[in-house]
Structure 1
Amino acid sequence: MERRMELFRDVIAAFDEGFDLAEKYDSMVHRYGEETLYQSEMHLLQAVGRAPGITMTEIAVNASKTKSACSQMVHKLQKRGLLTQVRNSQNNREYKLYLTDRGREIYCAHEEFDEACLKRSYTYLDNFSEQELLVYIAIQKRLNEAFKADIDENG
């Protein structure tokens, strides 16, 4: 039992290190041509690029963010000429979001960059079998359940 707990502590330490690195990466600004964007801004552009006509409410729900936070970001990106809002003809209170030509260029450049990063990361895992990757997924999903329970209990 003691050895298993020590291994578990190592798992959590590795997870924490990965989380810290991901957080550091997400907080960096990224340059796309002449545009500089934070990851959160790029994620919003991605959501619109992948689902043209999506609403702020849908983005907020999918990203677990408030509508107010999404609205502020949409207005910021709209001012920069990357997004447009079109009033929904069936619901005057709702706006559908679309990328501008400039926004689409940045979205496409980011998708290419993401794909290159994904391929690079994929090669780092060449030594692991499909079964080992499936075990990792199962472990991570179970840990996510524990993390959600922590949030529910303490949030």
Structure 2
Amino acid sequence: MRKPLRIKDDYLNVLLDVASERTRQRGSRVYEIKIGLSLRELRLLRTIGMHPGITMGQLVRSVGIEKTLASKRVNTLVRRGLIAREIGTVDARQIELCLTDDGERTVLAAEPLGKKLERGFLNCLSAAEVDTLRTLLKKMIDAEAASRDRFDAWLAEYAARESGLNR
């Protein structure tokens, strides 16, 4: 049998992903029972509710859900009468999304449950730690957005350099 590798096992992105996945699974089960929607569907509705007229591209960037999955979920929510699609007010080529009255009622009904669930899985932290965690996560998200163009340029360069070495 091989010896275990002595490597770093606490990369922050992995820890964030595991924590997120576990809490998302729990929350989604509760929302599905109580509201009839998954956590991802509610995330889409919440974002549309906070940004009426948001385009699909803006929505995908905002919620962090893969484009194909987000599109399928939006289509489902449109069919259920929770989201309406409208011709863009600034650009008629764009489709803007907004909540219907039923969509708005659904989001508002889910809000107290979301607060309760968040308190439940953060009860291992003090109020100050929760505030710090929220501040740090927002800072990381903002930093990623601010550096995305530079990273994409670096990655393209890196990929071109690596593909040239591998020939």
TM, length-normalised to structure 1? 0.63
Residues 12-65 of structure 1: per-residue CA shift (max 9 Å, x gap): 6x93763552353366372376x5212211111111011111111101122344
Question: What letter corresponds to residue 38 of structure 2 in structure 1?
Answer: Y
Residues 75-126 of structure 1: per-residue CA shift (max 9 Å, x gap): 2111101000110133122111111111111101222211222334454323
Q: Which runs of no fewer than 5 residues in structure 1 stay unpaired?
A: 146-151
Contact kept? 2:47, 2:59, Cα under 8 Å:
yes
Aligned partner of 1:105 in structure 2 is 105
Aligned partner of 1:24 in structure 2 is 25
Contact kept? 1:48, 1:98, Cα under 8 Å:
yes
Contact kept? 1:26, 1:40, Cα under 8 Å:
no
Percent identical among aligned pairs is: 25
Aligned CA distance change for structure 1 residues 85 and 24 (closer, same or farther; 3 Å): same
Q: In structure 2, how many angstroms separate the alpha carbons of the residues matched to 1:86 and 1:70?
A: 17
Residues 125-146 of structure 1: per-residue CA shift (max 9 Å, x gap): 23x865xx56xx59xx6xxx9x
Question: What letter corresponds to residue 61 of structure 1 in structure 2?
Answer: R
* RMSD between superposed Cα atoms in Å: 4.0
Aligned partner of 1:89 in structure 2 is 89
Q: In structure 2, how many angstroms separate the alpha carbons of the residues matched to 1:89 and 1:17?
A: 40
Q: In structure 2, how many angstroms separate the alpha carbons of the residues matched to 1:89 and 1:129?
A: 42
TM, length-normalised to structure 2? 0.59
Question: What letter corresponds to residue 41 of structure 1 in structure 2?
Answer: E
Q: In structure 2, how many angstroms separate the alpha carbons of the residues matched to 1:78 and 1:31?
A: 18
- Matched residues, number: 136
Aligned partner of 1:77 in structure 2 is 77
Aligned CA distance change for structure 1 residues 20 and 88 (closer, same or farther; 3 Å): closer
Superposition pairs of residues 5-16 of structure 1, within 5 angstroms:
9=9, 11=10, 15=15
Contact kept? 2:85, 2:96, Cα under 8 Å:
yes
Superposition pairs of residues 33-72 of structure 1, within 5 angstroms:
35-72=35-72
Aligned CA distance change for structure 1 residues 104 and 95 (closer, same or farther; 3 Å): same
Q: Which runs of no fewer than 5 residues in structure 2 stay unpaired?
A: 1-5, 145-154, 159-167
